[in-house]
Structure 1
Amino acid sequence: MIRFSGITPSGHAQLGNYLGAIQRWAAEGGEDDLYFVSDLHAMTTTHNPAKLRGLSGELLAVLIASGIPPERVFVQSDLARQLGALTWVLECTCSYGEAARMIQFKEKSKGRTGSRLSLLTYPVLMAADILLQGAAEVPVGEDQRQHVELARVLARRFNNTYGEVFTVPAAVLPPTGARVRDLADPARKMSKSARDSAGVVSVLDPAELVRRKFRRAVTDGGSVPEYLPEQRPGLANLLEIMAACTGTKPADVAAEYGSYGALKDAVADAVIETLRPVRESATALLADPGELDRVRRAGAVRASERGEHRLQSALRLIGAG
């Protein structure tokens, strides 16, 4: 069974990405699983090409530094020719209505007259990402579940219309509690694309910066730490982060500390130690661009070879090959 998932370089990898997804990919991944940097997905809105290229390399380094074997990682644009061809095949299988009803398209295009066509069609590209590699399971957040469902629909439709080529994938949602909230605004999740970075802890942030951000974290009212997620989401966020880093329970963490200051320092220490080996390894890899390029090329070759026969079968059956 192949698991397959990706991360978009819309910003620097942050703590929520690591605790909610990357750490799990490294710990649970099988030898046939693949994880990728979805740089083509970052082109659906205005972007800076040089920054995108840099963020893609940085994310690749973070994935490898987190313990995912290099042969299981690749960058999406390195398969652009295969993906472009398969996306066209799937667009010829998808209806306009199916693409237009995607929630993210509705939200991101609402009130805009200049939305890029790619904002409408990128769920079909996402389907091509998944189906090209024969993925059976796709770990995603709730916001991407609808896109995996589209991939399921298109796989079934193609198979039933032209012949069996694609595995029908299933979305796998993260465990409860994987969501990390912004330290400055607990009402929103921590995001690598946030405009204000004050409440966002990046994986590669130096230790003192991480400590500063936690000391300024919103903790709501109250006199002593208590785990009350609904009433005190800011404090609950700190407790959940500490629990995720130490393998404990948020309520048990709250019972250990009598003041917010002590708790914030303890959470900062736990996060710094959790991210330290990743930060050190990723920094070393980024300082050796030749090695990072070698790893990137090897990952691209493996992913390309794994998907080529599906692409050729799909083209042949649809009448194009």
Structure 2
Amino acid sequence: MSTEQNADAPVSDALAESTSDASLDRTRARSQAIEAEIDANPSRFRVLTGDRPTGNLHLGHYFGTLANRVALQDRGVQTWVLVADYQVITDRDAVGEIQDRVLSLVADYLAIGIDPARSTIFTHSTVPALNQLMLPFLSLVTDSELRRNPTVKSEFEATGGRPMSGLLLTYPVHQAADILFCKANLVPVGKDQLPHLEQTRIIARRFDERYGRAEADRPVFPQPEALLSAATNLLGTDGQKMSKSKGNTIELGMDADTTAKRLKKAVTDADRHITYDPAGRPEVSNLVLLAALASGRDPHEVAAEIGDGGGGTLKRVVTEAVNEHFAPIRARRAELVADPGYLRQVLDEGNERANAVAEATLAEVRTAMGMIYT
């Protein structure tokens, strides 16, 4: 039996362990320490984050991850933002209106404050060297490891039982290439994403152990750490999980009137007295939280001010807060969408930077593997 097969079970345990209570406590503590280190020396860190261009970004994305990306950028952390266009086809048969969706995503990024002069926005499909890293990386994992990977399992379950594609099976390896091509050493994640980051750490470690760089104390790849986000999970307007396909989201690009109409139909309950009780009153509390996030206030304070005003007053308060907060973002987004040439320029420049870094990393990988022939 090979070394990799012998290591298979411990690796599987490591992936599962990454979301255990004890491991989460350690990750939270380390994340707090990293926050302090960012304040002291932000240039130490390089962040990789991004999205699949499968639809328009919404308020859940904004308050969950997007606003934090801008905050990290503004604190001086080098930030790489991936438009994961190749990952669109991990669980579907076609790419759809991919060009429009990619440009829409870039417009969203720029509108919320991602600065292309300080952050790099790029696409999978235009960085060949990034994707070529998958070949040596695939040799470092086993079929059974991938099938037991919690990320693969959850993504497969979300497909409704359709046959698993090879790309979906190797999804964690592609994500490892995303992170390691630019040698990112910090990845903002929620706890459900910790297994895929652990898989990346395993791949980085195995590469250096196999090709002798770890012993020389000059590894090719860092073992990236998690910045565990305190991401706010907002429900959709129907009280269910936010989903673009369900039409229960408020998109970043929606105008004020459409936002008001969506929120007017939002689910509440029969109790006119408004309280913030996420466990007992999830739908009402979700709207209270949205108003609080949009206005920068405490949700208990928002609820107390509404008091006996009922669902109608709550929806009015939420609508006003959301529309006020997003008015400048939407205005800027409208300007950007009207200038697709500029959006393409931003992508071109980001792709050029990404290609230069990816080619340098691939050259280092080939050197470590002894695959330089000139």
**Which amino acid is 1:26 matched to?**
V
In the alignment, does 2:341 pair up with 1:318? no
**Which amino acid is 2:87 matched to?**
H
User: Number of residue pairs matched?
Assistant: 315
In the alignment, does 2:316 pair up with 1:265? yes
Q: Secondary structure of the residue that 1:214 maps to in structure 2?
A: helix
Picking from 98, 101, 104, the partner of 1:55 is 101
Q: CA distance change for structure 1 residues 145 and 122 in 2, over 3 Å: closer, same or farther?
A: same
Q: Secondary structure of the residue that 2:187 maps to in structure 1?
A: strand
Aligned to 2:16: none
Note if contact 1:60-1:75 (Cα within 8 Å) is conserved in structure 2. no
Aligned to 1:174: 229
Greater displacement, 10-19 / 279-288: 279-288
Note if contact 1:220-1:233 (Cα within 8 Å) is conserved in structure 2. no
1:273-312 maps to which residues of 2 (within 5 A)? 273-312=324-363
**Which amino acid is 2:226 matched to?**
A
* CA displacement 1:164-214 (0-9 Å, x = unmatched): 1001101222215x111111133x2x23xx3220x2111111111111111
Aligned to 2:165: 116
Displacement of 1:78 after TM fit?
4.5
Picking from 98, 107, 112, the partner of 2:145 is 98
Aligned to 1:22: 66
Counterparts of 1:17 and 1:108, CA distance in 2: 18
Picking from 190, 204, 214, the partner of 2:253 is 204
Greater displacement, 283-292 / 145-154: 283-292
In the alignment, does 2:263 pair up with 1:220? no
Counterparts of 2:353 and 2:172, CA distance in 1: 24
Aligned to 2:207: 158
Larger Rg: 2
Counterparts of 1:320 and 1:286, CA distance in 2: 45
Counterparts of 2:285 and 2:61, CA distance in 1: 18
Counterparts of 1:315 and 1:221, CA distance in 2: 65
Note if contact 1:149-1:171 (Cα within 8 Å) is conserved in structure 2. no
Counterparts of 2:93 and 2:107, CA distance in 1: 21
Note if contact 1:60-1:73 (Cα within 8 Å) is conserved in structure 2. no
Displacement of 1:95 after TM fit?
1.7
Displacement of 1:307 after TM fit?
3.1
1:109-148 maps to which residues of 2 (within 5 A)? 109-110=156-157, 112=161, 114-148=163-197
Displacement of 1:60 after TM fit?
1.0
Identity of aligned residues (%): 31
Q: Secondary structure of the residue that 1:13 maps to in structure 2?
A: coil
* CA displacement 1:202-229 (0-9 Å, x = unmatched): 1111111111111111113422110111
Note if contact 1:6-1:38 (Cα within 8 Å) is conserved in structure 2. yes
Displacement of 1:48 after TM fit?
4.0
Picking from 87, 104, 115, the partner of 1:41 is 87
Unaligned runs of 5+ in 2: 1-44, 214-218
Note if contact 2:120-2:353 (Cα within 8 Å) is conserved in structure 1. no
Counterparts of 2:162 and 2:170, CA distance in 1: 16
Note if contact 1:134-1:307 (Cα within 8 Å) is conserved in structure 2. no
Q: CA distance change for structure 1 residues 50 and 157 in 2, over 3 Å: closer, same or farther?
A: same
CA RMSD of aligned residues (A): 1.7
Counterparts of 2:145 and 2:321, CA distance in 1: 45
Unaligned runs of 5+ in 1: none
Aligned to 1:195: 245
Q: Secondary structure of the residue that 1:138 maps to in structure 2?
A: strand
Aligned to 2:11: none
Counterparts of 1:113 and 1:9, CA distance in 2: 21
Counterparts of 1:124 and 1:152, CA distance in 2: 11
**Which amino acid is 1:185 matched to?**
G
**Which amino acid is 2:313 matched to?**
A
Give me the TM-score of the superposition, normalised by structure 2.
0.80
Counterparts of 2:357 and 2:81, CA distance in 1: 13
Displacement of 1:101 after TM fit?
1.3
In the alignment, does 2:277 pair up with 1:253? no
Counterparts of 1:212 and 1:113, CA distance in 2: 36
